């Protein structure tokens, strides 16, 4: 006689989170979890596939149904920040350290973790844990004859300056100040190649001038 089919088990959100945490920490295998929670392996697989959705539900609804985390245990907070980070990077958002700290503070309030203090130490540990590094945004690269410029500075410029006092040798250059532009770098997962979007074009033109010995500097 064939074995009877396992009774269909519906997992609640807390059980799904427990399963995801156990798999993430490698405390138990999928097979062990299927036995423990009385469900088949396909159910465990669906939980894994829906991880972002499941964790978002917890983030949006807070941590009211579970015991408060022990002081110093920020695993759930780290996961919430990681989900937010991945979602923002999927939208090509530019993310800085202060932005992450601000979001971490909000999540700590939602998850009822009153002892959490956003700090550079926490940020460093979180970035290390999630393999997050700083990346320069890839965009247009200006071409320049570096070898030719170095040759001119070495062999031509000295003869031109020989008959002038350093205080009378000045250099002026103008630059555009794109005061609405976003930073040209962002935090991203290691191996990711962030792409820049359309830049804000509002600008001011600024002229900088200084002499060779640094006695006169003007803007």
pLDDT tens column, 2-56: 444 455 578 888 888 889 888 888 888 999 999 999 998 999 999 998 888 787 7
pLDDT tier at 146, thresholds 50, 70, 90: low
Most confidently predicted of 1-15, 94-108, 124-138, 164-178: 94-108
Of 90, 88, 71, residue with least CA distance to 80: 88
Of 122-131, 135-144, 205-214, the range with the lowest mean pLDDT is 135-144
Residue 199 has pLDDT above 70, yes or no: no
CA atoms of 58 and 83, how far apart (whole Å): 11
* 210: three-class secondary structure by DSSP: strand
Is 79 inside a domain boundary? Answer: no
Residue 106 has pLDDT above 80, yes or no: yes
Q: Which range of residues forms the domain containing residue 31?
A: 9-49
Is 123 inside a domain boundary? Answer: no
Is 28 inside a domain boundary? Answer: yes
CA atoms of 102 and 85, how far apart (whole Å): 12
Q: Where are the alpha helices (DSSP H) in the chain?
A: 13-24, 30-36, 41-49, 51-61, 75-90, 97-110, 120-130, 146-155, 157-161
Is 139 inside a domain boundary? Answer: no
For residues 8, 12, 18, 23, the Cα torsion angle rounded to the nearest 10 degrees is 50
Is 205 inside a domain boundary? Answer: yes
CA 85 → CA 15, 56, 66, 67, 120, distances in Å? Answer: 24, 12, 24, 25, 17
pLDDT tens column, 156-197: 788 778 888 888 888 888 877 776 776 767 777 777 777 666
Residue 155 has pLDDT above 60, yes or no: yes
Is 100 inside a domain boundary? Answer: no
Is 45 inside a domain boundary? Answer: yes
The mean per-residue pLDDT over the stretch 78-82 comes to 90
Number of domains in the chain: 2
DSSP H or E run through 174: strand 170-177
DSSP state of 151: H
Residue 213 has pLDDT above 70, yes or no: yes
CA 16 → CA 22, 37, 49, 187, 202, distances in Å? Answer: 10, 10, 11, 30, 48
Q: Quick one: tokens of 166?
A: 């350093």
- Residue-level pLDDT at 69: 38
Contacts 24+ apart (CB under 8 A), 200-204: 202/178, 203/176, 203/177, 203/178, 203/179, 204/176, 204/177, 204/179
Is 175 inside a domain boundary? Answer: yes
**pTM recorded for the entire structure:** 0.42
């Amino acid at each position: 006689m064939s074995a009877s089919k396992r009774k269909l088990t519906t997992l609640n959100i807390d059980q799904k989170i427990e399963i995801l945490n156990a798999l993430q920490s490698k405390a138990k295998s999928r097979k062990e979890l299927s036995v423990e929670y009385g469900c088949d392996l396909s159910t465990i697989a669906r939980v894994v596939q829906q991880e972002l959705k499941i964790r978002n539900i917890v983030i949006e609804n807070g941590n009211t149904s579970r015991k408060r985390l022990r002081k110093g245990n920020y695993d759930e907070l780290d996961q919430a920040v990681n989900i937010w980070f991945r979602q923002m990077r999927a939208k090509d958002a530019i993310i800085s350290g202060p932005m992450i700290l601000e979001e971490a503070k909000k999540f700590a309030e939602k998850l009822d973790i009153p002892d959490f203090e956003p700090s550079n130490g926490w940020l460093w540990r979180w970035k290390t844990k999630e393999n997050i590094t700083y990346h320069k945004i890839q965009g247009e690269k200006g071409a320049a004859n570096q070898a030719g410029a170095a040759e001119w500075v070495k062999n031509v410029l000295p003869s031109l300056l020989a008959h002038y006092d350093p205080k009378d040798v000045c250099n002026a250059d103008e630059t555009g100040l794109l005061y609405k532009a976003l930073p040209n770098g962002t935090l991203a997962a290691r191996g990711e190649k962030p792409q820049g979007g359309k830049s804000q074009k509002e600008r001011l033109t600024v002229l900088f001038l200084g002499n060779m010995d640094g006695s006169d500097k003007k803007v």
